[in-house]
Amino acid sequence: MFALVSFIIVIGVCVVSHEFGHFLSAKLLGVQVLEFAFGMGPAIFKKRGKETLWSIRIFPIGGFVRLAGMGEALDDETEDPQRSFNAQSAWRRWFILAAGSITNVVLAVIIATFFLWGHGVLDMEHARIGELMPGYPAESLGLRPGDVISSVNDKKVTTWLEMASTLRTYADKPLTIVVERPDVGQLVFEDVTLKLDPTTGTYILGIRPAQIRYEGFSAFKYSLKYLWEMTKNIFSSLVMWIFGGQKIYVTGPVGIAEMAGEAARSGLWTFLFFLGIINLNLGLFNLIPFPALDGGRLLFVTVEMIFRRKVPEYIEQKVHFIGMVVLLALIALITWQDIARIFSR
């Protein structure tokens, strides 16, 4: 139940923000919005506004914004042909279609900025000690939080990953570690022997990286940096999967619900971080030029803008229908794999 509630919160925020992007952009460009719906299936709540029907559907997965000209109008609705989606210029339709994903990415930036400002992240750019692990060599040597490891066995290290990799390289040998300590200067520790960690089965020094928080504009700047790195990793993994056969982990609604529950149990900040990552993934996923996704529709509009000629509507509808069938089949397959994985534990 806890995982289900967490999942509904995550999906609710992601879907509502995505559809709000479509809704707001349509309103700004004067397109008639017939319905704003959260969820799929039969409606359990409806409220008619001045022009838009607001509804909540029984299955809290997905949602949609129904624009004039993009589906059948209900009996009590009157469409304005001049304000229909299809009556708009190509660039207006392109913007409305892209606005949902843009909103998800913007929300991910806002969440990441707040996370970096209020909680912070582990400082992996420097080999600075943030915490000592009791019972390990770092504690007995007298290392302190704030110390910066500058070299291991005469090999200079700058980042945490460089330092950790070098320690692993010489794990079976006595080490000479040079440390820079604020207000003291350089300290040299010789004949350092690492200790086996029974949890990981590796020899470690017994230190953890420092936590770093960003203030003001720096939090925003670094949120863009971190999200850009995540975006590159997502697309590079996708390309390697398609062309290189590299395995990637794909999960559906059940898997997301499980992860949402785990994130929520870990605390508010972890849950907030997870929410930002899901928003980023949803925004990017919807931009993939696959039929039935926003990216597939954007591809048709882009072709129209390049060749100054609209693809026949019946062809586009058929392509999107096939894409939707394939997409639903993939979701069903992934969901089945998630369920099988949970029960196999």
Which residues are within 8 A (CB) of 297 and not within 5 positions of it... i.e. 6 or more apart? 97, 320
Is residue 181 within 8 Å of 144, Cβ to Cβ? yes
Place of tokens 């950790």: 164
Please classify residue 147 by burial: count the beta carbons closer than 10 Å to its beta carbon, then call 0-12 exposed, 13-18 middle and 19+ buried: buried
Distances (CA, A) of 224 to 71, 109, 275, 328: 37, 7, 16, 33
Is residue 193 within 8 Å of 141, Cβ to Cβ? no
- Long-range (24+ apart) CB contacts under 8 A made by 182-185 are 182/146
Please give the model's pTM, rounded to 2 decimal places: 0.83
Q: What is the DSSP letter of 206?
A: -
Mean of pLDDT over the chain: 89
- Among residues of the chain, what percentage have pLDDT more than 70? 98
pLDDT tens sequence across 292-303: 899 999 999 999
If you average pLDDT over residues 159-182, what whole number do you get?
90
Is residue 90 within 8 Å of 305, Cβ to Cβ? yes
Q: Crossing angle, helix 217-244 and helix 268-285, to 10 degrees?
A: 50
Q: φ and ψ at 76, to 5 degrees?
A: -95, 15
| CATH 2.30.42.10, the chain: domain bounds | 129-212
pLDDT tens sequence across 226-266: 999 989 888 887 777 777 666 767 777 778 888 888 888 88
Q: How far apart, in whole angstroms, are the C-alpha atoms of residue 284 and residue 294?
A: 10
On the question of pLDDT at 344 being above 80, the answer is no
Q: Within its chain, how far is the Cα of 111 from the centroid?
A: 11
Multiple choice CATH, 129-212, 2.30.42.10, 3.40.50.300, 3.30.420.10, 3.40.50.1970: 2.30.42.10
Closest C-alpha to 100, from 47, 55, 54, 62: 62
| 54-63, 75-84, 167-176, 325-334: least confident range | 75-84
155 beta partners: 152
Q: What is the DSSP letter of 128?
A: B
Place of tokens 């708009």: 88
Q: φ and ψ at 326, to 5 degrees?
A: -65, -45
If you average pLDDT over residues 81-89, what whole number do you get?
91
Is residue 86 within 8 Å of 70, Cβ to Cβ? yes
Q: What is the DSSP letter of 73?
A: P
Q: What is the pLDDT of residue 327?
A: 87
Q: What is the pLDDT of residue 127?
A: 93
pLDDT tens sequence across 121-140: 998 989 999 999 999 999 99
Q: What is the pLDDT of residue 261?
A: 87
Q: Is residue 105 very low, low, confident or very high in pLDDT (cuts 50, 70, 90)?
A: very high
If you average pLDDT over residues 89-116, what whole number do you get?
95
Q: Is residue 284 very low, low, confident or very high in pLDDT (cuts 50, 70, 90)?
A: very high
